[in-house]
Amino acid sequence: MPVIAAMVLAAALPAQCRVLLEPRHAAQEVRVDDTAPQPCNARSPRPKLVFDAHKRILRAREALAAGSDLGRVYFPPSFAVHAGDRLALIAHVGYVAITRNVVALQDAVPGASLFVRDRDGEIFVVPLAQEERQP
């Protein structure tokens, strides 16, 4: 069960110049594993990927061949928690830890805040821990 705890801010991951390893059709998802880093140069192309904000993924803007220079690309973290996931809310007060089982009401990435509901129907806004997620 994932654990919700104090928010830890992560250093922003810089965008890197990348090259595509396998061909992709237009609108097809492109993951970081489908690319390889390459040195950036002054003539890097305009972005060939578009961000699907709903699914938090990158998609090919057009059909791309293997070896295509993608230019500077930032791959956002995927959702760590999805709406409906059961979580454990843990509050630490001194040496005391108070645990409450809750259900996520929205998707969230590590370090972000999300709405959760406990079994009494009470709704909380809580930060999602980055390093304490458990399978």
Give the residue extent of every domain in the chain.
3-8+79-127, 16-73
CA distance readout (Å), 112 to 20, 26, 36 = 30, 31, 28
Fold for the domain defined by 3-8+79-127: SH3 type barrels. (2.30.30)
Is it the case that residue 14 has pLDDT exceeding 70?
Answer: no
When pLDDT is averaged across residues 21-46 and rounded to a whole number, the result is 89
Is the CB of residue 128 less than 8 Å from the CB of residue 113? yes
Please state, in angstroms and rounded to a whole number, the distance separating the CA atoms of residues 30 and 24: 8
- On average, the pLDDT of the chain sits at 82
With cut-offs at 50, 70 and 90, classify the pLDDT of residue 76: confident
Q: What are phi and psi of 130, to 5 degrees?
A: -90, -45
| Global pTM value | 0.56
CA quadruple 91, 112, 57, 68: dihedral positive or negative? negative
Is it the case that residue 113 has pLDDT exceeding 50?
Answer: yes
